[in-house]
Chain A
Amino acid sequence: ETGVTQTPRHLVMGMTNKKSLKCEQHLGHNAMYWYKQSAKKPLELMFVYSLEERVENNSVPSRFSPECPNSSHLFLHLHTLQPEDSALYLCASSREDRNYGYTFGSGTRLTVV
């Protein structure tokens, strides 16, 4: 375990479904992130939350909706996804100064059918 827990580990959903990804950390970090990782693509930043406020939204389609109810929890709500959204979704957390790097969760492998 990395200290950052993501659930579920695997998810298969239809294009009309609504699902949520969950991320939880108890490392005392106050910044949390969602990244998307597709085959042969770099890690793509989706959302940044610092002190529970969204500080960056990297031109992500509205079918992805983040939620950060407190500094330990982060959600990614999914609705009406497309097959090209199939990817590994990684949550990470860090101290606000990022000097000790990011701690990543194990990711959710999402398949949209």
Chain B
Amino acid sequence: GQQVMQIPQYQHVQEGEDFTTYCNSSTTLSNIQWYKQRPGGHPVFLIQLVKSGEVKKQKRLTFQFGEAKKNSSLHITATQTTDVGTYFCAESGYSTLTFGKGTMLLVSP
């Protein structure tokens, strides 16, 4: 299946700074899902975006789906140490999801 590309691979921020990870595809996506995996943990579903230009918020997290449905972003406002982990986007194919390589976020207090 097609692969979504995530950037950056890694980001280290100071607590209180903002953070954004981007997910890009060369083809139109039917929908996009976002997951968070804490160190030593397993991926946890955060949200699904379906509509062109859709924006959804979960507290300090803002998820956006591009107008052309070829890209998506996750923005965290005022990061906290609890935000540490790897954030994955995943696109829905015929029978399953295909995950990006993830962006690892490290937050220093």
**With A90-B43, A106-B41, A107-B42 in contact, is A100–B48 under 8 Å at CB?**
yes
Check if B44 sits within 8 Å of A104, measured CB to CB: yes
Residues from chain B with a CB closer than 8 A to the CB of A105 are 42
Give the total number of A-B pairs whose CB atoms are below 8 A apart.
Answer: 47
Tell whether A2 is near chain B: CB-to-CB under 8 Å. yes
Q: In the assembly, what is the distance between CA of A84 and CA of B51, in Å?
A: 40
Residues from chain A with a CB closer than 8 A to the CB of B98 are 45
- How many chain B residues touch A (Cβ–Cβ < 8 Å)? 19
Check if B42 sits within 8 Å of A98, measured CB to CB: no
Q: For A43, give its contact among B41, B43, B46, B48 (CB under 8 Å).
A: B43
Q: How far is the CB of B97 from chain A (nearest CB, A)?
A: 7
Q: How far is the CB of B51 from chain A (nearest CB, A)?
A: 13
Residues from chain A with a CB closer than 8 A to the CB of B43 are 43, 90, 102, 104
Residues from chain A with a CB closer than 8 A to the CB of B46 are 101
- How many chain A residues touch B (Cβ–Cβ < 8 Å)? 21
Tell whether A42 is near chain B: CB-to-CB under 8 Å. yes
B35-62 interface (Cβ within 8 A of A): 35, 41-46, 48
Q: For B48, give its contact among A99, A104, A107 (CB under 8 Å).
A: A99
Q: How far is the CB of B43 from chain A (nearest CB, A)?
A: 5
**With A33-B96, A43-B88 in contact, is A101–B41 under 8 Å at CB?**
no
Residues from chain B with a CB closer than 8 A to the CB of A50 are 95
Q: For A101, give its contact among B42, B48, B100, B102 (CB under 8 Å).
A: B48
| 28 chain-A/chain-B pairs, Cβ below 8 angstroms | A2-B42, A2-B44, A33-B96, A41-B101, A42-B99, A42-B101, A42-B102, A43-B43, A43-B99, A45-B96, A45-B97, A45-B98, A48-B95, A50-B95, A56-B95, A56-B96, A99-B48, A100-B45, A101-B33, A101-B45, A101-B46, A101-B48, A102-B35, A104-B43, A104-B44, A106-B41, A106-B42, A107-B42
* Residues of chain B at the chain A interface (Cβ within 8 Å): 33, 35, 41-46, 48, 88, 92, 95-102
